Structure 1
Amino acid sequence: MADDVAEERRMILKMLEEGKITPDQAVELLKALQGPAAEGAPEPGSERTVDLGRWAEQFGSRVSELADEFAQRVQRVVASADVGEKVGDVADRMADVGRTVADRIAQAFGQFGTLALPAHAFTDEMAGEFAEGAVPQVHLATPNGTVRVHTDPQAGRTWRLTVRKRVRARTPEEARSQGQHLVSVTQGPTGLTARAESWSIGSADLELVLPPVTVRLEVETSNGSVAVRGVRGTTVDVRSSNGRIDLSQVEAQRVVARTSNGSLVLEGVQADVLEARSSNGAVTGSVGGAEMEVSTSNGSVTLRPLWRPEGAAHQRLDVQASNGGVRVILPAAVREAAERKELGLSLRASTNWGSTQVEVPGTVLITQTARMGRQQVEHQSPHLAESARTLHVDVRTITGSASITSE
C-alpha cells in the first residue's frame, strides 16, 4: 500500500509538472491521498519518503524559480516599453502565483512538503571563552551540512562559532523564526555543544574557530563533509555517513576518522592511536603514531608514515583494502634514520589477487610466497632485533596491488 501511495504522488507531481492538470487539481488529488490511504504512507526518514521529498523539493524550487524568472522578464519588457505600472503589477502577481503553487504543494505533502517551499539562508554568530586550565569537551553535529574546525593561535581562550542555516519556508521572516530551533547550542567554561535538528526542517553548516588549547573534539554529520585543521586534543573523533573527511595537522592521543561514503585525507596527523576507515572512498595522507589502523572497503590507499626522534619508540602501521591498491611510501627521514641504524624497519605486503612489492634500501628479504594468486613478501632491517626504535608496516589487499617503497 505504501508503494502505491508513493507512486500515485509521483504521478500527480509529474502531471502537474507537464501541465496536464492545474495546481488546484493537483492539490485536491494529493489531499485525497491523505485519507484512508495515508495509513500506508511511508514512515518519515524512510527511503521512499526521502526520495519523494527530494522530488518535491526539486519541483517546488523549479516552480518558484520559473515564476520569478517570468516576473523578471515581464518587468524588463515593462521598463523598455514604458507601458506603465499596471503590467508591473501583473509581473509581481505572477511571481506570487509561483510561490502559491509551491505553498499548496507543501501543504498537500504534509510533514515533508515544506521541501517544496523557497529556501532562505541566514547566518548566526556567537562566541565564548573556555576556563583557564580546562580541557574543553566540544561536540558538533549536523545531519545535513558541513562542519569546519580550525585553530586561531591568536585567540587566547576565546572560541567563535558560525552557523549558516538554510530553511525552507513561505517568507524570510517565517524561515528565521523556524531556524531559531534548527540548531541548539550549549556553552560553558568547560565545553561547547552545537547540534542541528532533522534535515526535514532545514540544513546547517557549522564553522568553529578554536583557541590554541587542548580539547576533546567530537564531530558528526550524516550528509556533508568535515574538515579539521590545526587542532590539538586528547581525543579527536570525526564521523560522516556521506561525505569527505579532511584532517590536517591534527595531534591527539586518539584520533578516529570514519566515513561510509567518502574519501579520507589525513595530512600530518599524529596520534598514539589512530583509526581511519572508509567503506567507499580513497584514503591518502601522512600519519604517525604508536598504533595506526587504516582501511577502506572500496578504494585505494596511499600513505606516508611520519617519524620523529621524540615520537613513539615503536610504531605500527596496519593498512588494508578490500578492493583497491595499497601503497605506503617511506619519507626520506624514515629511510635515512634506518640507514643510520636509528630505526629498525619491518615491512610486509600481501594480496590475494594482484602484485606485491617491497623496495626500500637497506632492508633484506625475509620471506616471499606465491600460490593460487596469493602473494606475500616481507623485508626487514638487518639490525631490527637490536633497534630501540622500530617501524612495522603491514599492507594487505584482497584485490589489487600492495607495495612499500621509499622516496
Structure 2
Amino acid sequence: MLPETSHRYKVGVRLPDWLSGYAYRLFEGLVDFQRTGVSIELHFDQPSGGDLPHDPIDKSWKGDGLLVYRYSKEEARAWKKAGIKVINLSTEYPGAAPEIPRVIVDNQAVGRAGFDHLQSLGLRDFAYVHESNRQYSKERMEAFEEQVVSNGLNFYRIDVPASSFPIKTRPKQVMKCLQALKDLPRPCGLLSKDDIAGVSAIRVMKSLGIKCPEQMAIIGVSNDVVFCHTTYPPLTSIPYPGRKIGYAAAELLYKLMEGEEVSDDYTLKVAPGTVVARESTRYVILPDPVVTAALEYIRTSPLQTNITVEELCRKAGVSREGLRQKFQATLGRSPKQELERVRCYQIVEILRNSTETLSELSEICGFSGPDHLCRFVKRLTGKTPGEIRRG
C-alpha cells in the first residue's frame, strides 16, 4: 500500500523522438499507475507541430520528479542539487557507474529468450548482431553467447557500431558491416540487438542472396509493429515490456518522492514479453530433410497433442533407429529429447506469461494431472512451476 499525500507531485517525462516505437507502451504504464489514485501530474514536451509551446526538460527544469531515457552527467548533478528525484529508463548511463536508479528491461533474459526460440529450430550455429558501444547490446549478447556455448553449439559475432557513425553516412556503413553475414555458416540463427538492426540484416541478406528464414533465421528486440511488419519476411521479435516498465518506474519514483531511499546504482529489471514469432523464424532447412520435416511437425503441432516418437517415425517415414541416428547426427540429441525440450520450452513460456492454475495448465498441455506436469518441468529445468513463475 503506497503512502498517501495531499501534495500533487509534478513529474516530467523525457523520451527521445526515436523512441516513438514503444513510447506509447511506457505511457500506458505511467497512466496505469496514475489511475491508482496517487497525486501526480505528468508533464511531457509532446511534439505538436508548433501548436503547443516548447517546454524542454533539461538541467533547468523545475518539478518534483523525472522519468528520463538517458541523461548527461551535468543534468544529473543539477537535478540532484535541486532535490529532484529521477529514474532512468535506459540501460545506458554516462560515466563509469550509474548516478541515477534505473528501471529497465532484463537484457540477460532477452538474450536467453532469443537463444531458446532459435534453438527450437534445430540450429547448431548462432550469431549476434552487436553494437559494442551500447551496454544493453553487450548484456544481451553475453547472455545469448553463454547459452550457445554452454549447450556445446557455435557462436559468432557481427559488430555494427551504428551510433558511432555520422548520421549522413550511417546507413551505408551499417550495410557495409553487415556484409559479414556472407561468412556465417548456413543454416544459422541470428539475434539482433534490436528490431532496426534486424531489418537492416534482412535487407543485406536479400542483397547477398541469402534466404531468410530457410538459410538464416533472425529475431529482433522490441516488437515494434512498424519495423516488424514493413520488412519481408516479417520479423520475429522479443517484446519490450514498456507498460510494465512504465508502471514500475512511476511507482518507484513516487516512493522516492515520498521519502524512501535507494542507492544511485539501484536497478530494477523487468522481464521481456514472450517471443512473437513471425516469418523470419518460421523454419530453416537443415542438412537432413527428414529432420527438417520432423522439426517442422513438432513446432506446428498443438501443445496438447503430446507427440510420441512412434508418431514422429510414421510422419518421417523412417524406423525408430533410423530417426534416432538422423537426429543425433544433425542435432546432437535424440527425437525423445527434442520432443521433451520443445514441449518444456512451450510450457515455461506459458508459466511466465499466464495465470492459469496448474490443473488448467496440465489440461492445456496434455498431462494427466498437475503432479505429472510438475515432475516433467522439474526433471527438465531443475525448477518447479512455481519457481519459474516467480522468476
| TM-score (ref. length: structure 2) | 0.25
Q: Which has a greater percent of strand?
A: 1
| Structure with larger RCO (C-alpha < 8 A, sep 6+) | 2
Which one has the bigger helix percentage? Answer: 2
What TM-score results when the alignment is normalised by the length of structure 1?
0.24
